[in-house]
Structure 1
Amino acid sequence: MFYTTKYKHKLLEKIKELEDQDEIINTCEITQDGEICRLNYSIKPFEIDTIETFAQVICDIVQTEGIIQVTKDFLMQRKDLLPTDKKEIKRKFVTNNYLAVQEGFSALTYYLVYMPLLEALKENQEINIDGWLRFRTYRYKVILADILEQFVEDYLLKKDIIKFIKMVKEMSPLNNPLEDVIHLIYKKNGEMSLHNEYMEEVTELYTKAYCEELLGESSFNKEDLIMNILITICPRRIIVHQRQRAKYPQFIKTLEGIFGINMRYCKGCENCTDNASTIKS
């Protein structure tokens, strides 16, 4: 039997999903006693698959609410954050740390939420969802709070870096862009190359012109060099080809933050084919 006062609708929604998928059949009886919603289910001792299914249902609710509670409590204490930053941090953190049942569990959720729930169901087949979330998830929430703290610091650092790069870009003495259009093309192996509006490769040309002093620095990778080139030549438009091949998708997100509406994504052209003979080197 499950009890809940706060999460009735979420519980019923998930049970309905399982019934629609034929994961559970004629095992549930739902009753209402004041604010308390009771879900009675009939499971034979050997029906381990059904017990695991119910454990996943409760785990999904506990995981979701746990992440939301930790995020809300943590951000309320951060008076230094802007409301817009808090909203964005909450959205990203919940998205990054929540995994639905069908997607599998993170190690954190598996060992600190799912397994204890599964063992409890095997022993007495009775769970108070509200009480479990309040009293049985302390370690889970502490670790989530630590993860969130680092997440916020990374978010603020990235924001500061983008703000600084934008400032450098705006202060650039190059009032007239060196290129109207730059094509950023990802190759099969995930490597990048830059091409001008005539599809002539200019990666080496601009690397020698603006990145020669950086080539000997071990801390700079190809993404850093490309970023330096793009900020320096400041093209009016950047067209990204084959973005799905990117080794580091976050690099594209950073470019979006810097160049904004000047970024475009190719939806398919002759230069995106594997044997693009039209690309000049």
Structure 2
Amino acid sequence: MTLMTIILNECWKDIYNRLDHEMDFFLKDGIIIDKNIEKIGRETYISYSVEETCLKYYTIDEFEHIFKYYIANIFSEIIIHDMEEKMAYDILSNEYDYFGLQERKAILKHFNNIQKDEMYKYEKGSSCTISRRTKIVQQMMDYFIENDVIHLEGFLRFRLRSYIEELENSIDRAVEDFLMEKEYNEFIRLLRYFVDIQEAKIDTVNVLMTEDGNYQLYDDKNKMIKNEYLEDLALEMADKDISYDDLLISSLITLAPKKIIIHFSTNSSKKEIIDTIQNVFSDRVYICTESNLCGSIHNLKQE
């Protein structure tokens, strides 16, 4: 009995080899899957069949469903792990053709991170969405209810439209992430320039960060830093509705210290601002951290 016919384009020989290897799965139950291969133009037709006498534990209908589900899982694996990035790159090239080759590679890295993050959320149970693989299997099984012939490229293009739309959305997000990263890097480059041309007004600044997001600046003698530069800066930025983190960065650039020591709680959620300070001031920055509030902070606060 014929189980299914799969049509592959000439460039998909690797998929044929993968299918051929996966058919060995049924041998453990003594089930031999026969195949007939026919080449028509640039397409390869692979017809799979089985003798009913081999099916000791299943009816023909049961085994046909099992076989199709097995094929659907193989295809979902191939699509996600072997074809998804190529499809994403094609979408990127068509929708965002103004990006250069290196920019597209960078965007693809963001795309892969987004896809991995979605899969991680699904596996950890923190996402209510169905995994991409499950969606592909479901749509393929729905198709197999009334069809015994599948053209893989055609199925991808016309039957998995929702999956393609998800890829397009992920590419859009990856482009946004890339542009934000590019803007951030340009911002950091500009801040580094300001730091490099500034003359240091102080040797050491201790930055005390607390769990509530506040901070205070101390010198190397554990005295709080208060001067006209910072007071004027705070007033100016307050009028412009600038964030507390921006005020900290601007204060440090104004002071342009030779050394910055950051003291923070292990429960602090200020990783982004700490990363920014490190990116701007690079080897001038030192991190001081212990359990809860470090002893250095405690000593500073007592001054």
What is the TM-score of this pair, normalised by structure 2?
0.58
Superposition deviation, residue 193 in structure 1? 3.0
**1:139 aligned partner:** 162
Mapped contact 1:186–1:243 kept (Cα < 8 A): yes
What do the CA deviations read for 1:74-131 (whole angstroms, capped 9, x no partner)?
Answer: 2466454344333222212221233585652797973776235225337748876555
Deviation per CA, 1:133-190, whole angstroms, max 9, x where unpaired?
A: 343333332343344335424533542354245335424696322344545565445x
> Mapping of 1:77-116 within 5 angstroms?
78=96, 80-99=98-117, 104=122, 110=130, 114-116=134-136
Paired with 2:230 and 2:106, the residues of 1 have a C-alpha distance of 35
Measured in 1, the distance between the counterparts of 2:165 and 2:256 equals 45
The answer to whether the aligner puts 1:118 opposite 2:133 as a matched pair is no
Aligned to 1:148: 171
Residue identity matched to 1:262: D
Given that residues 67 and 98 in structure 1 are in contact (C-alpha distance below 8 angstroms), is that contact kept between their aligned partners in structure 2? no
* Counterpart residue number, 2:283: 262
Q: Aligned equivalents of 1:10 and 1:181: distance in 2?
A: 64
Is 1:167 the counterpart of 2:190 in the alignment? yes
Aligned-partner Cα distance in 2 for 1:200–1:25: 76
Sequence identity of aligned pairs in percent? 17
User: Match for 1:133: what amino acid?
Assistant: L
The alignment partner of 1:278 has SS state of helix
Q: Secondary structure at 2:215's aligned position in 1?
A: strand
In 2 relative to 1, CA 73–115 (structure 1 residues): closer, same or farther, beyond 3 Å? closer
- The counterpart of 1:225, out of the listed 247, 259, 272, is 247
SS of corresponding position for 2:201: coil
Q: Matched residue of 2:295: which SS?
A: coil
- In structure 2, the partner of 1:210 is 233
Question: In structure 2, how many angstroms separate the alpha carbons of the residues matched to 1:51 and 1:201?
Answer: 74
Contact (CA 8 Å) 1:169, 1:232: kept in 2 or not?
Answer: no
The amino acid of 2:130's aligned partner reads: Y
| 1: CA distance, partners of 2:184 / 2:205 | 23
Matched, 1:62 2:79: yes
Root-mean-square deviation (Å):
5.4
Structure 2 equivalent of residue 278 of structure 1: 296
Residue deviations 1:193-224, cap 9 Å, x none? 35557484758778635322223554x33222
* SS of aligned partner of 1:98: helix
Please identify, of 79-88 and 24-33, the stretch whose mean Cα deviation from structure 2 is larger.
24-33
Deviation at 1:30, TM superposition (A): 8.8
- 8 Å contact from structure 1 (residues 210, 229) kept in 2: yes
Is contact 1:177-1:234 (8 Å) kept? yes
1:72 Cα shift?
A: 4.2
In the alignment, what sits opposite 2:41?
none
**Number of equivalenced pairs:** 267
Alpha-carbon shift at residue 265 of structure 1 (Å):
6.5
Contact 1:186 1:192 in 2 (8 A): yes
> Is the 2:207–2:263 contact (alpha carbons within 8 Å) kept by the matching residues of 1?
yes
1:82 to 1:123, Cα distance in 2 relative to 1, 3 A: closer
> 1:166 and 1:228 mapped to 2: Cα distance?
14
Structure 1 alignment gaps of length 5 or more? none
Contact kept in structure 2, 1:2 and 1:129, CA below 8 Å: no
